[in-house]
Chains A and B, each alone.
Chain A
Amino acid sequence: MRRGVDMVKARRFGRPLAVCALFLALAVSDLACSANAGDRSPFNDAVVPGGAALTLEAGKPAICSQLVHSAGFRDLDVDMTELASASSAPHAVERLQAAAIELRSLARKATAALRADLAATASALDDLKARGIRDSSAVRAVSHALMRLGGEMQTRCEFPVG
């Protein structure tokens, strides 16, 4: 008798419970989505709009991880946008300076082959900071340095490509 009641209850509440579980799962996944979308996780998100994801496979040289974890370097796009959009962007200038410092710090620990590219990128960022985003030669120098550094790092780190 008792078992029969339980079965009726199970039938009565089974479906709503399943629906609740579905809602719960959706809510949890929604929270997970919000958390990922909200913070600026250094991994998975593309660094630039439409760009390749930022991931790193195991077993790569330490310099790969160190560059990935360099927040100032990763956020260069944000700084560029701020420099272009505002007549005065003191925070962006500060962050550019910090990025250049981080790159020089990495350069000191890097192999000779990488050291020059890291230092050249830091130097180009310094120049851009001083001359502004509308200075064509400064922009070209930064772009060139980043592409060269990207090529050098690729052979070691094998990042995903676009």
Chain B
Amino acid sequence: MRVPSRLGRLAAGLVCSFALLVEFPTFVPESWAGPAPGLCHMNTARGVIPASFAIQACTDTRYVYLHNNLTVALTVKVSGDVGPVKRTESDYGLAADATRLHSSDPWIILPGDTLRIPVGARGASFRLYDSRSAGFYALAETVQTFVPGTGPAVIGAFTGLISELNDDFSQYKDCLIGRNWIAQLGCRVLFTRNVSFAFARATVTALATGALSAVLAGATFTKWLGAQVPAVEAVLGSGTIQIAPTQAVAVTPAAPPTATAPTAPATSGFAIGSRFDDDCVIAWPTAPVYTSNSIEMTMSCEHVPEDEYLFTNVTYDNTGFQPTPDSGTIHVVGQVVNVARSAYGFSELVVQASSVTIVGNSG
């Protein structure tokens, strides 16, 4: 006896192939992943974004921008000379809140998150991995639709419930390994009991009916499992962003010779009247503004703390100096003359430059 028939196996193969495509859409990175000039003013003088990079990324020589345009949580492994990361979130739902609360990974990138990572002079590399919270997030997404209300208490209780369910799913996955369908039914019985207990213990009030069934549904396990698969399929193999040390930029043929002093070490104060000496780039998406006798540039400077001064406004009384947004790193020497405060609440450092030199052109 041969069960099933060859035709049956063929049909099953078709079903399986179809199911893989339907059930694991996160296998395949979005077609618009990789280099994403829309995230910043792309300047590849220090390194390029691999075309195969699994999520959208951009570099302007001073920063690397990563935008998770997939549907799974990821993490980025960073090595080298990087500054404090600035995160922009776009998902304010319960699932995202709970995942952030649950995860202790500072480099987690939830779907919709954008990280802006300052890269120092010594360079850095960036590589994507699947997040340990990917399954948690996938589960939270499913259950959040059944939770009414929000607020710290709800988020806390919801996080506790998802954490327990996530453990149950992991245990069930491990239980399946090396067992046949009969023994796997035994795994499933334990899993069903555990999930049922998790809901009974949950302090999330007024969970809508259907939540337990939704968690036990096969599709939810498939989604949970699929959230971790990109580690193998799409993420691990998507390449590394390598940002070279700035010395590499200094020797690019287009860089004009410079006689200015080397960049000063990080200064702690930017008092009005103090000397200013730093490497800056024209902040994207601004462009230099020319008056009859000077040029004004809105810049981001290496040693100016952005949480204190969002931008550095540099005025240089030399209309012959005509950088473009593509000029890359510009060495600015001058004096802090003022601090401007925007109606939006942020501050800008105002610098009157005495010397401005382009040190890194676009590649």
Q: Is the CB of B195 within 8 A of A77?
A: no
Q: How far is the CB of B15 from chain A (nearest CB, A)?
A: 5
Distance A83 CA – B212 CA, assembled complex (angstroms): 11
The count of chain B contact residues (Cβ–Cβ below 8 Å) is 43
Interface residues of B in 182-199 (CB under 8 A from A): 182-190, 192-193, 195-197
A2-10, A11-19, A104-112, A149-157: which lies at the B interface?
A149-157
The reply on A56 being an interface residue by CB < 8 A is yes
Distance A160 CA – B176 CA, assembled complex (angstroms): 12
The reply on A21 being an interface residue by CB < 8 A is no
**Residue-by-residue, is A70-99 near B (CB-CB < 8 Å gives 1, otherwise 0)?**
000000110011011100000000000000
Identify which of A48, A52, A140, A149 contacts B188 (C-beta below 8 A). A48
B10 closest partner in A (C-beta): A32
The reply on B253 being an interface residue by CB < 8 A is no
Residues from chain B with Cβ under 8 Å of A29 in the complex: 14
B213-221, B239-247, B336-344: which lies at the A interface?
B213-221
Given A134-B193, A146-B183, the answer on whether A161 and B3 have CB atoms closer than 8 Å is no
Q: Is the CB of A44 within 8 A of B189?
A: no
Q: Is the CB of A36 within 8 A of B180?
A: no
Q: Is the CB of A162 within 8 A of B176?
A: yes
Residue from B1, B3, B185, B225 having most chain A Cβ neighbours under 10 A: B185
Given A85-B212, A85-B213, the answer on whether A147 and B177 have CB atoms closer than 8 Å is no
Q: Is the CB of A139 within 8 A of B190?
A: yes
Given A50-B176, A139-B190, the answer on whether A146 and B12 have CB atoms closer than 8 Å is no
Residues from chain A with Cβ under 8 Å of B3 in the complex: 43, 55-56, 58, 65, 68
Given A33-B14, A36-B11, A58-B2, the answer on whether A76 and B185 have CB atoms closer than 8 Å is yes
Residues from chain A with Cβ under 8 Å of B197 in the complex: 134
Distance A7 CA – B147 CA, assembled complex (angstroms): 67
Distance A84 CA – B197 CA, assembled complex (angstroms): 9
Residues from chain A with Cβ under 8 Å of B102 in the complex: none
The reply on B354 being an interface residue by CB < 8 A is no
Identify which of B9, B188, B212 contacts A77 (C-beta below 8 A). B188
Q: Is the CB of A143 within 8 A of B180?
A: no
The reply on B77 being an interface residue by CB < 8 A is no
Q: How far is the CB of B116 from chain A (nearest CB, A)?
A: 38
Residues from chain B with Cβ under 8 Å of A59 in the complex: 1
B181 closest partner in A (C-beta): A47
Q: Is the CB of A149 within 8 A of B15?
A: no
Chain A residues with a Cβ under 8 A of chain B: 29, 32-33, 35-37, 41, 43-60, 65, 67-68, 76-77, 80-81, 83-85, 133-134, 136, 139-140, 142-147, 149-151, 153-154, 157, 159-162
**23 intermolecular pairs with C-beta atoms under 8 Å apart:** A35-B11, A37-B19, A48-B181, A50-B218, A52-B176, A53-B12, A53-B181, A55-B3, A55-B9, A58-B1, A59-B1, A77-B188, A84-B196, A133-B196, A134-B200, A143-B187, A147-B186, A150-B182, A157-B180, A159-B180, A160-B180, A160-B181, A162-B179
Chain B residues with a Cβ under 8 A of chain A: 1-4, 8-9, 11-12, 14-15, 18-19, 172-173, 176-190, 192-193, 195-197, 200, 212-213, 216-218, 221-222, 225
Instruction: Known pairs A50-B222, A56-B1; list 18 more (Cβ under 8 Å).
Output: A29-B14, A44-B4, A48-B184, A48-B187, A49-B188, A51-B188, A52-B180, A55-B3, A57-B2, A81-B216, A83-B192, A133-B196, A146-B183, A146-B185, A147-B179, A150-B183, A154-B183, A160-B180
